Amino acid sequence: MFNLKPKPFSGGVHPKGYKELTQQQDISKDFVPDRVYLGMQQRNGSMLNSLVAVGDTVVKGQLIARGSNDMTVPLHSPVNGTVVDIKPYLSSHPSGIKSQTLVIANNGTKNWGIDYPPSDYQKLSHEQIVERVLEAGIVGLGGAGFPTGIKLRLARKSKVHTLLINGGECEPYLTCDDRLMREQAAEIIAGIKVMAKAIGATNSIIAIEDNKPEAINAIKQASDGISGISLKIVPSLYPMGSERHLIKAVTGIAIGPGQLSTAQGILVHNVATAKAVYQAVRYQRPLIERVITVSGDAIEAPANITVPIGSLVSQVIAECGGLKAEAKRMIAGGPMMGQVLPSPFVPIDKSVGGLLALSEEQINQRQSQDCVRCGNCVKVCPMGLMPFQMATHSNNDDWQGAQEFGLDSCLLCGACSYICPSSIPLVQYFQHAKSNINAQRSMMQKSNLARQLTEARQQRLAREAAAKKAAKAAKRKRPARSRSTQGES
């Protein structure tokens, strides 16, 4: 309460960072998995069609699967080797569901199988840039996994003027964006220029939390003297990385509930995505690897490491020296919003930015108690909701009541569960309520569709019956007429 600096948005928490575990080491690029497992099902549920068969030789960067439309980004081989299997395999989804997976054995060579001559993005039209981004299979690397090309195209349509690059990295433990900004600032800046051209934005802002001074310096140097690109230092406060809150902190504009940031002329992308876009447009290189943070107190040697997409979690952990303590929980992503991994043998997909193995002590989970209405959750909620009220309604299966208290605006950021002195699993309640509401909605859509079909069928039957009747009547009429004509003749 004695912090007199104005907060960039109301609410938020300051979880302990643990960033020092990995912050000071260079990104390791030595990891070579002996096999990669590439799931054919994407985050949004759509399926890819394989372009290769078991036994085929594939080279690094080769297109091996593509979807039916642009929402399903294509998949490229991250390694040189042979397709050894196409079978259902574990996915990183918390339920441990199996999906069709391409298994490629790596022959160990690291060179790209295809020549990628550099090209000048200035000569490309904005549609060509978007096309290259889509072809490279890039999705948002911040965690949401939305196809970047689609996002750029939509932004151009809604006349976005400001490109906001998210270097916040507010999740504890994660430092991969921090390291990327320190080591590859020039590529990030170049990627920002490409994206700004693609969407027609005149203004680009890179926002970095004030707990990353080296990254701020690196970006400052790389962007020095470039017009249209500026740097904004934002206070470290979780969830700064949330799109709405970053926009509020940087521009002061609050995006209303249900509104898209592009409606206000702002598009947000992650720093790692900017780098991938640069690679895709300049060299036409597909997204086949990413930098992830492997950390947590159960990891022997926490590090930031470049991993080919499809590497198994177990192999990445082995690369980081294995486990030194019992990992009570393995998490994909950060500790605030990350998802529990169902098994150590799941592959890493494009939207996984962190891999944590946490001991019981760091998870710090206790038996939950009754709510004492202390209001801490209300205080920290960055969306201005009343989590304890939403939880009461969710608990009683009153989804509508929960929605009335703002469930639809909930980010599931976890600030409320983090602070709750009664250790109530609030986010779990909200996820449960949200999935029930979604199920209800899809049921409704289904029944609507069924009703429409039934109505259409009834109308068709009625039409057919009427036509039949008319035909019959006409038939009956015709002989009558013919008779009458006969009579007349």
Partner 1 sequence: MAINNPIAAPHTHSGLSTTNIMYLVVLALSPAALYGVWIFGLPAALVIVSCCISAWLSEVICLQLQGKNWLSSIDGSSLLTALLLAMSLPASTPWWVASFGCIFAIVIGKHVYGGLGHNPFNPAMLGRVMLLICFPIELTNWQAISIPSLGSDGLIFSQQWLGIDGVSSATPLADLNQIVEWKGLLLGEHAGSLGETSALLIALGGLFLIWRGIIRPYIPCALLLGLTIPASIAHWLHPQDYASGLAHLLSGGAMLAAFFIATDLVTSPTSPRGQILFGAGCGLLIWLIRSFGSYPEGVAFAVLIMNAGTPVIDHYLRPKIFGSQSLFKRSKGA
CB of 369 vs partner 1, minimal distance in Å: 6
**Between 80 and 261, CB nearer to partner 1:** 261
Residues in contact with partner 1, counted by CB under 8 A, come to a total of: 78
CB of 259 vs partner 1, minimal distance in Å: 7
Of 8-16, 103-111, 184-192, 451-459, the window that binds partner 1 (rule: CB under 8 A) is 8-16
Residue of the chain from 142, 172, 347, 354 that contacts partner 1 (CB under 8 A): 172
Give CA angle at 482 (481, 487), nearest 5°: 95
**What's at 5, amino acid-wise?**
K
Residues 6+ apart with CB under 8 A from 177: 167, 169, 215, 270, 271, 272, 353
With binding defined as CB under 8 A, does residue 348 bind partner 1? no
With binding defined as CB under 8 A, does residue 427 bind partner 1? yes
CB of 322 vs partner 1, minimal distance in Å: 10
Of 54-62, 112-120, 283-291, 424-432, the window that binds partner 1 (rule: CB under 8 A) is 424-432
Within 13 A of 30's CA, how many CA atoms are on the CB side? 6
Give CA angle at 60 (56, 64), nearest 5°: 50
**Between 351 and 417, CB nearer to partner 1:** 417
- Give residues 296-325 in contact with partner 1 (rule: CB under 8 A): 323
CA pair distance 322, 344, nearest whole angstrom = 12
Residue of the chain from 179, 402, 417, 434 that contacts partner 1 (CB under 8 A): 417
**Between 1 and 53, CB nearer to partner 1:** 1
With binding defined as CB under 8 A, does residue 435 bind partner 1? no
**Between 108 and 256, CB nearer to partner 1:** 256
Residue of the chain from 82, 100, 211, 431 that contacts partner 1 (CB under 8 A): 431
Residues 32 and 110: beta-carbon distance below 8 Å: yes
CB of 49 vs partner 1, minimal distance in Å: 30
CB of 164 vs partner 1, minimal distance in Å: 16
CB of 215 vs partner 1, minimal distance in Å: 23
With binding defined as CB under 8 A, does residue 346 bind partner 1? no
Helix runs in 175-224, H state only: 176-183, 185-199, 213-223
CA pair distance 472, 387, nearest whole angstrom = 68
CA pair distance 358, 40, nearest whole angstrom = 29
With binding defined as CB under 8 A, does residue 5 bind partner 1? no
φ, ψ for residue 164 (rounded to 5)? Answer: -110, 125
Residue of the chain from 252, 366, 486, 487 that contacts partner 1 (CB under 8 A): 366
* Of 112, 109, 52, nearest in space to 81 by CA: 109
Of 114-122, 211-219, 399-407, 463-471, the window that binds partner 1 (rule: CB under 8 A) is 399-407
With binding defined as CB under 8 A, does residue 15 bind partner 1? yes
CA pair distance 440, 399, nearest whole angstrom = 10
Cα-Cα-Cα-Cα torsion 93, 99, 102, 105, nearest 10 degrees, comes to 60
CB of 103 vs partner 1, minimal distance in Å: 22
Site pattern 91..130 for partner 1 (x: CB under 8 A): ---xx-----------------------------------
Supply the DSSP symbol for 141.
T
With binding defined as CB under 8 A, does residue 152 bind partner 1? no
With binding defined as CB under 8 A, does residue 414 bind partner 1? yes
The terminus-to-terminus CA distance of the chain in angstroms comes to 109
CB of 14 vs partner 1, minimal distance in Å: 9
Residues 323 and 67: beta-carbon distance below 8 Å: no
Residue of the chain from 88, 108, 200, 384 that contacts partner 1 (CB under 8 A): 384
CB of 366 vs partner 1, minimal distance in Å: 7
* Of 245, 171, 181, 235, nearest in space to 17 by CA: 171
Residue of the chain from 54, 144, 226, 254 that contacts partner 1 (CB under 8 A): 254
Of 65-73, 184-192, 202-210, 244-252, the window that binds partner 1 (rule: CB under 8 A) is 244-252
Q: DSSP string spanning 329-382?
A: EEEES-TTT-EE-S-TTPBP-TT--EEEEE-HHHH------------HHHHH-T
Of 111-119, 126-134, 153-161, 337-345, the window that binds partner 1 (rule: CB under 8 A) is 337-345
Burial of 467 (0-12, 13-18, 19+ CB in 10 A): exposed
Residues 349 and 316: beta-carbon distance below 8 Å: no
Residues 232 and 250: beta-carbon distance below 8 Å: yes
Residue of the chain from 213, 257, 321, 479 that contacts partner 1 (CB under 8 A): 257
Supply the DSSP symbol for 144.
T
Of 69-77, 157-165, 283-291, 331-339, the window that binds partner 1 (rule: CB under 8 A) is 331-339
